[in-house]
Amino acid sequence: MTTQGLVMINTGHGKGKTTAAFGQALRAAGQGLKVCIIQFIKGETKTGEALALASAFPGQVELHLAGTGFTWKQDMETVKAAALAGWQLAREKISSDAYDLIVLDELTYLIGFGILTEEEVIALFRERPQRLHLVITGRDAGQGLIEYADLVTEMRAIKHPFQQGIKAQKGIEF
Ligand code: ATP
Ligand code: MG
């Protein structure tokens, strides 16, 4: 049976984009697929998903942090350098043909910030090994990416505890 690699996007302004991507990675790992996750933006504090995956699937699920933490605390050059290093890593991982599923978490922000163009992102996806599934997350996925993808889900915020003034909590938000 030949695998048809899918491009899957979790976008929208509601909660659940990253956690759904990790759920997908968990499902894939359980079926013996080789998974690589690159988290853009994040990097400052260890998230629960990073802590859990680092030890749970040695040799099967890889996780790379390619961010500097939250952007409003950093100068743009630092953010950009980390993002470009992450993108270079993504290029290598995608071309390697060593994975069945690659997650590029918060990739859409790199396009939003003007660090990458939608065209170069799609060009890399087009050249990927045919069996490779990709999961992309982040708010405001562009029209070009949406058209190219096979599966697009929009998380829509109906209510969020943030609106009640409840701050991000360990184990729920990170
Ligand atoms: P999660 O990582 O929980 O799956 P996400 O990936 O969908 O969330 P991001 O846009 O990456 O969310 O933003 C990360 C943080 O922003 C999370 O802590 C999340 O709880 C919070 N967040 C998501 N949606 C909203 C919202 N509508 N209002 C306020 N904060 C939000
Ligand atoms: Mg996210």
Structural domain contains residue 73: yes
- CATH classification at residue 35: 3.40.50.300
Structural domain contains residue 163: no
What tens digit of pLDDT does each residue of 40-97 get?
Answer: 987 766 789 988 886 789 889 999 999 876 656 668 888 899 999 999 999 999 999 9
Ligand 1 contacts CB of residue 17 (under 6 A)? yes
Ligand 1 contacts CB of residue 173 (under 6 A)? yes
pTM over 0.85: yes
CB atoms within 10 A of CB 24: 17
Range of the domain at 59: 7-157
What tens digit of pLDDT does each residue of 81-92 get?
Answer: 999 999 999 999
What are the backbone angles phi and psi of residue 29, rounded to the nearest 5°? -60, -40
Ligand 1 contacts CB of residue 91 (under 6 A)? no
Structural domain contains residue 1: no
133 vs 81: CA distance, rounded Å? 26
Domain count, the chain: 1
Structural domain contains residue 18: yes
